[in-house]
């Protein structure tokens, strides 16, 4: 199995040796290589390191100069008013925006110290390692089993497929509800069940990271609670980045919270990162008055 690709590019630490970047041991070896060159390597706990990331759509800036570090094994929440670039930022973490006409990214996104936008990055491998769940559940018109088995089959992970499907459905807190009807269509599930199925589908290949874009926004409080519960269960096994409009949800699930807002100080308004800190700090004693206004409901 290959890593994300090979790089001789200049990482943040100015790595000059060709390194194969993977997660786990290989990413540690990249750090060791960089360190042995006398350079400062990305700390091992950083899964993503966004460095002055700006995004343009057709020349119009949607996101301006975002620098933020996502730590391994944690839940990071992205909050902020509509249109401030949360989805744009999230989708920049697994190159989902690449197919959007006119999309351009400036700055750098490092994944385990490796430039995600380097020319030699294998995009299939990116999707393999960085799973995504969207706001609206989008199960395939297939059976429950085949939805979860789809990605493992595509990646040739056929041995032990039944166990893998069961493990993913258990991980997504859906197993007990569907174990007797695995061959039924996924489209017959409720909205909350479909969303958990999409999470099961994403975790079936055991990615390194799970990106969730408002996964509970269309769900009732009970389904929302079960999604939150499963996030707690997945924490540690996966690094999770979640966009949410629900501040109570961010406060309940996230270790760290990033507040984005629109800023017009350099002309056209563009989304920018206002403050990023421990969740208790963002909700309890934020440093920026704009964060304070937002989390107290005075804005947005
Ligand atoms: N595919 C696209 N083409 C052109 N502009 C886009 C595209 N996607 C997003 N934008 C623009 O980028 C800006 C940020 O949008 P984005 O969807 O990232 O915001 P958001 O914070 O996720 O908002 P919401 O909370 O409403 O989901 C908006 O001005 C939006 O119109
Ligand atoms: Mg959005």
Q: Is the CB of 87 under 6 A from ligand 1?
A: yes
Which has more confidence, 221 or 62? Answer: 62
Indicate the pLDDT class of residue 213, thresholds 50, 70 and 90: very high
Does the beta carbon of 27 sit less than 6 angstroms from any atom of ligand 1? no
As a whole number, mean pLDDT of residues 25-38 equals 39
Least confident among 14-18, 90-94, 197-201? 14-18
pLDDT band at 223; cut points 50, 70, 90: confident
pLDDT band per the 50, 70, 90 thresholds, residue 45: confident
Label residue 262 by pLDDT band (50, 70, 90).
very high
Average pLDDT on 189-199 reads 93
Digit-coded pLDDT (tens) for 180-189: 999 999 999 9
Q: Which atom of ligand 1 is nearest to the CA of 245?
A: 25
Q: Closest Cα to residue 265, out of 65, 107, 82, 67?
A: 65
Q: Is the CB of 261 under 6 A from ligand 1?
A: no
Global confidence as pTM: 0.85
Residue 85 is given by DSSP the state: S
242 pLDDT tier (thresholds 50, 70, 90) = very high
Q: Is the CB of 57 under 6 A from ligand 1?
A: yes
Residue 28 in this model has a pLDDT that exceeds 90? no
Q: Which ligand is located closest to the Cα atom of residue 99?
A: 1
Burial 162-193, CB ≥16 within 10 A → b, else e:
eebbbbbbebbbbbebbeeebeeebeebeebb
DSSP string, 214-271: STTTTS-HHHHHHHHHHHHHHBTTBEEEEE-S-HHHHHHH-SEEEEEEEE-TTSS-EE
**Would you state the pLDDT for residue 264?**
86
| 258 CB near ligand 1 (under 6 Å) | no
Q: How far is the CA of 84 from the centre of ligand 1 (A)?
A: 7
Calculate mean pLDDT across residues 55-79. 96
62 CB under 6 A from ligand 1?
yes
Share of the chain above pLDDT 70, in %: 85
pLDDT value, residue 300: 53
Percent of the chain with pLDDT over 90: 66
pLDDT band at 299 (very low <50, low <70, confident <90, very high): low
- What residue segments make up the domains of the chain, in order of their start? 6-33+42-295
The CA distance from 237 to 299, in Å, is 35
Q: How many whole angstroms separate alpha carbon 18 and alpha carbon 26?
A: 13
User: What tokens appear for 155 in the block?
Assistant: 């990646």
Residue from 76, 175, 215, 18 nearest 7 by CA: 18
What is the second-level CATH architecture of the domain 6-33+42-295?
A: 3-Layer(aba) Sandwich (3.40)
Average pLDDT over residues 194-216: 94
Q: In the chain, where does DSSP find H-type helix?
A: 24-36, 86-92, 123-129, 144-154, 161-171, 175-178, 191-203, 221-234, 247-253, 279-284, 289-295
273-296 burial code (b ≥16 CB/10 A, e <16): bbbbbebeebbeebeeebbbebbe
Of all ligands present, the nearest one to the C-alpha of 102 is: 1
CA 227 to chain CA centroid, nearest Å: 16
When the pLDDT of each residue in the chain is averaged and rounded to a whole number, the result is: 85
Nearest ligand by distance to the CA of 245: 1
CA of 10 to the centre of ligand 1 (A): 30
In sequence order, the β-bridge partners of residue 266 are none
Ligand 2 ion: nearby residues, β-carbon < 5 Å: 87
What's the whole-number mean pLDDT along residues 263-292?
94
Ligand 1 pocket mutation pick from 84, 88, 215 by most atoms within 8 angstroms of CB: 88
Q: How far apart are CA 281 and CA 258, in angstroms?
A: 11
Q: What is the pLDDT of residue 232?
A: 87
């Amino acid at each position: 199995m290959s890593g994300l690709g090979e790089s001789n590019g200049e990482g943040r630490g100015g790595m000059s040796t060709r390194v194969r970047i993977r997660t786990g041991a290989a990413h540690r070896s990249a750090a060791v290589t960089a360190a042995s060159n006398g350079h400062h390597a990305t700390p091992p706990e950083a899964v993503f390191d966004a460095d002055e990331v700006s995004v343009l759509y057709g020349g119009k800036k949607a996101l301006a100069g975002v620098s933020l570090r996502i730590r391994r094994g944690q839940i990071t929440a992205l909050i902020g008013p509509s249109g401030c670039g949360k989805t744009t930022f999230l989708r920049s973490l697994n190159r989902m925006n690449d197919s959007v006409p006119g999309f351009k990214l400036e700055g750098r996104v490092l994944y385990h110290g490796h430039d995600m936008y380097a020319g030699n990055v294998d995009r299939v491998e990116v999707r393999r390692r960085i799973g995504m769940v969207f706001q609206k559940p989008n199960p395939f018109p297939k059976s429950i089993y085949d939805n979860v088995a789809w990605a493992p089959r595509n990646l040739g992970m056929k041995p032990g497929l039944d166990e893998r499907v069961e493990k993913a459905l258990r991980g997504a807190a859906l197993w007990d509800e569907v174990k007797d009807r695995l061959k039924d269509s996924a489209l017959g599930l409720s909205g909350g069940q479909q969303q958990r199925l999409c999470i099961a589908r994403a975790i079936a290949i055991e990615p390194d990271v799970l990106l969730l874009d408002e996964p509970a926004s269309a769900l009732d409080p009970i389904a929302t609670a079960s999604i939150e519960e499963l996030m707690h269960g997945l924490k540690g096994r996966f690094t999770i980045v979640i966009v949410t409009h629900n501040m109570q949800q961010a406060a309940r699930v996230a270790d760290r919270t990033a507040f984005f807002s629109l800023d017009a100080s350099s002309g056209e308004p563009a989304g920018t990162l206002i403050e990023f800190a421990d969740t208790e700090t963002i909700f309890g004693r934020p440093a920026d008055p704009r964060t304070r206004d937002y989390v107290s409901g005075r804005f947005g």
